[in-house]
Amino acid sequence: MARLLSRLPHRLALASLLALSLLLNACGPTDRPRVTDYRSQGELRVATRHDAISYRIDDEGHASGFEHELLLALGDALGVPVKFVPYPDAARALDAVINGQVHMAAAGLGQNERLPLRWSAPLREVEYVIVGRNDGPAVNTEDRLAGRTVSVRRGSLPADRISAIRKRLPALNVHFPIKAGEEKLLAELARGALDLVATDRLHYAFAARIHPELEIVYELPGRSSIAWALAPEDEGLATAVDAFIAAFSASGRLARLADRHFGHVRRLDDAAITTFLTRIRERLPRYRAFFHEAQARTGIDWRYLAAVAYQESHWDPQATSFTGVRGMMMLTGDTADRLGVKDRLDPRESILGGARYLDMLMEQLPAEVAEPDRTWMATAAYNLGMGHLNGARSIARGLGKDEHSWWDMKSVLPLMSRPEYAQRLKSGPARGGEAVVMTENVRNFHDILEGLEAPYEPALSPPQLRLGPPG
């Protein structure tokens, strides 16, 4: 049986997997190839694929992503390290489970009960859509898809939905690109190389931040769940995985993890994204070297500093607000004096001063606040001041919330404008809701810059120079 499976072509699509299901069922469970138990193997082998949401590798070679982080927590619960085995597509990842090469597959997989696999408890719900360009023909009803070509990742649940439509509408053309995930398909759609793309709503939201010309033109029927695929006979691992997911969800950690990776994505509208992309081209090149220098002095990624600066001033060094804050990083007069910034309207001075201020705020937070929450809370304090942030943290403790978690704090900060909470604050009322919006916008701008701008790696980092006396 194993020899027969090894002769199957690597490009297994959904149809091939379904055919394989019949073959495996006929052979019986004892003939099916099985991977060595994860406990005796000393590791949990997980098939995955490179994806903007589930598993991605950054410019420095570090892995991250919603499912990546969740699987590391699973490994800790099981007491074994996780070995990630990337495959070109979801079909091959699923095939690896069927062939006994890995213990499970985790690749942004829609739960599909027709495959010869066992599915974990759901991780998150997902909706599927057809995406087009906003300058293309409208698609108001299913019959308007006639004559159009929909590109979709082979073996995915959106492919199932499109195939079902094609049975009713033979004039619909379906294109299955080779080795192309949602991110690449949507990028090709944005530049006009594709007609339409079927994907899920979250992948669309991520892509639309860089390609505002994209829009949802048709919503596919039904909802699904993202889950992990395991071998049907591996009941012990399946039971342990489901128990882990249940406990992780009940503790609130699953919701926090989802918020960390997706919670900020839909905050920017198309007009804001278009303006941001234009200013990346037209304004950022003038100041990039100053942000690089600020990173070298503080260790904060220059793209995050640029995101803060854009949120504050749209990279306008002459910006001035009615409250008296000025310059690229919108510093107050008192803060500028503490930082030794002599001219707030000088872009280099402002950027270096603002970077140092953000770094100081990070240092003032308790050690219990871990990254990335530490950076996000410091960003909120950049807007509010550390006194108000500490007041909000006190309110959080009183409400039984986690003062060290951005997930909890962003629900507490808006309360600071309410009289019943403001009276508890030494610093008085504050517009905490604005600090939340500011921080979530900065997260979005930073994500976009990470996708478009290269990291800065100074050949030799200079010492941590200060612009003036410590604050």
Q: How far apart are CA 287 and CA 280, in angstroms?
A: 10
What number of other Cβ atoms are within 10 A of residue 272's Cβ?
15
Q: Would you say 441 and 383 are in contact if contact means Cβ atoms under 8 Å apart?
A: no
Peptide bond connecting 88 to the previous residue in cis, omega within 30 degrees of 0:
no
β-pair partners for 84: 46
Q: How far is it, in rounded angstroms, from Cα 20 to Cα 404?
A: 49
SS (H, E, C) 93-145: HHHHHHCCCCCEECCCCECCCCCCCEECCCCEEEEEEEEEECCCCCCCCHHHH
Contacts of 305 (CB under 8 A, 6+ apart): 291, 294, 295, 298, 351, 354, 355, 358
218 by DSSP, 3-state: which?
A: strand
List helix spans (H) across 365-457. Answer: 373-384, 386-398, 406-412, 419-422, 432-452
Catalytic residue of the set 312, 349, 403, 440: 312
* 352, 412 contact by CB (below 8 A): no
CA dihedral 267, 270, 275, 281 (to 10 degrees): 100
Tell me if residue 113 is catalytic: no
Residue listed under structure tokens 């979709």: 152
Specify the pairing of strand 118-119 against strand 229-230: antiparallel
In whole angstroms, give the CA distance from residue 6 to residue 95. 10
Instruction: Please identify every residue annotated as catalytic.
Output: 312
